Amino acid sequence: MKPEEIKQKLFSYINQATPEQLEDMLSFVEEEETEYEVETASAPWDDEEFVKEMDRRMEEIDSGKVQGIPWEEVHKKVFDKYKKE
């Protein structure tokens, strides 16, 4: 089963779950967290190294040293790649 199919199946289970089932699912994931190293969402802007790297990249774009790729082009390439699979 492809990862996207697994995600859809899990979302289906979550959307149909009772409150008790949701609590059980969460407990299971949190118990397994250390084994699978599930990361919780964090704010990247709180990470000093991340901010420093983004600043460096923006300086390269602003100076003309690096040319950015328009979002539409990036989106199309990604969409086309996964559309074929």
Write the CB contacts of 17 (distance below 8 Å, at least 6 apart in sequence). 25
* Pairwise pLDDT comparison (30 vs 76), residue with the higher score: 76
Q: What is the pLDDT of residues 14-44, one digit of tens each?
A: 999 999 998 888 888 877 655 555 566 678 8
Number of domains in the chain: 2
Same domain? For 35 and 68 the reply is no
**Which domain, by its residues, includes 5?**
1-40
pTM score, whole prediction: 0.41
DSSP 65: S
Question: Same domain, yes or no, for 48 and 22?
Answer: no
Radius of gyration for the alpha carbons in the chain, expressed in angstroms and rounded? 20
Q: Supply the pLDDT for residue 56.
A: 95
Average pLDDT in the chain: 85
C-alpha distances in angstroms, 42 versus 35, 48, 54, 70? Answer: 20, 13, 16, 26
Same-domain check for residues 82 and 55: yes
Is residue 53 scored above 80 in pLDDT? yes
pLDDT at residue number 55: 95
* pLDDT, average across residues 44-69: 92
- Summarize the chain as % helix, strand, coil (round to 5): 75, 0, 25
Q: How far apart are CA 85 and CA 83, in angstroms?
A: 6
